[in-house]
Chain A
Amino acid sequence: MNKNINNQFTEWVNLYSDKLYSWALHKTSNKEIAEDLVQETFLAAFKSVSNFKNDSQPHTWLFSILNNKIIDYYRKSAKNIEQSIEDEAISLKSTNSLFDNNGNWERTSTFSGESSDEHLLDNQDFNLILQNCIGKLPVNWKLAIELKYQQDIKASEICKELNITSSNYWQMIHRAKLQLKICIEKNWNI
């Protein structure tokens, strides 16, 4: 039995560790953290192999464990209150600078967002820039985005987790998108 499990895990590591590592790197933009998360994923999987149902795909199971590890990593980082407050203050200042005192746009956008820009998402360079910009968001804004889009968690649960009101929540998503707009406009020249 044990030997079988070991053989199975060796096969899974050989087949999936690169893919999982690439995903973790894509999400954390940090080589060491990505490696740690993948290691922890296999270790957790190994310990809970009895939960694995043979009718499901092993990579789907491993991927879901890794995604939970990534969210936990964001949660832990967000708890580093001093750093996250500082990062948030800097980002608030930079997004405020987009508007004048009356709340109207200070300058026009260079990143058009026209319908043809749908193709932007097929552009490898644009994707890399965007991913890099996401990596620079304050960690609690990033956590809000991860919970909203990756985990499909309900708004009310996200507010509870982040300890914010629902208006704080959409303001946070608004700020995060403004910050991404600034970052893309700075790095993406058409």
Chain B
Amino acid sequence: MSLLKLSCKKATEMVEQDKIVSLSLVDRLKLKLHISVCKACKVYQKQSDLLDTFFSKSKDLDDIPTEENPQLKNKILKQLDENH
């Protein structure tokens, strides 16, 4: 039984490991068992997925509100003018 026992720290680390390099069958079984009985680790797993969605989603310029910066615009135009 101790072979199957994982600490929460190790289990949550394995959640991330599995997303990068697949876990071995034994490790995946251990993780699955741990998460089935550990509510806090199940919550971590969901939070981890949510963060993944956020990171992958915020890839596009249109995802964020536009902040106007007229001074910067003028500065760049002036700089380009000097460089042409």
Contact = CB atoms under 8 A, between A and B. Distances in A.
Given A170-B16, A181-B47, A39 B79 contact: yes
Given A22-B64, A170-B20, A38 B55 contact: no
Given A109-B40, A117-B46, A155-B21, A2 B84 contact: yes
A111 B54 CA distance: 15
Q: Which of the four size classes fits the interface of chain B?
A: 35 or more
Interface in B48-63: 48-59, 61
Interface stretch (A72-80, A86-94, A171-179): A171-179
B80 A21 contact: no
A190 to B, nearest CB: 14
Interface residues of A, number: 59
A169 B54 contact: no
5 contacts: A6-B80, A46-B80, A105-B40, A130-B54, A174-B15
B48 A177 contact: yes
Contacts of A39: 72, 75-76, 79
B80 A120 contact: no
A5 B81 CA distance: 11
Given A38-B76, A170-B13, A181-B44, 18 more contacts: A10-B80, A21-B72, A22-B67, A42-B76, A59-B61, A99-B8, A99-B9, A103-B7, A104-B9, A109-B44, A113-B43, A115-B46, A117-B46, A130-B51, A148-B55, A166-B21, A170-B19, A171-B13
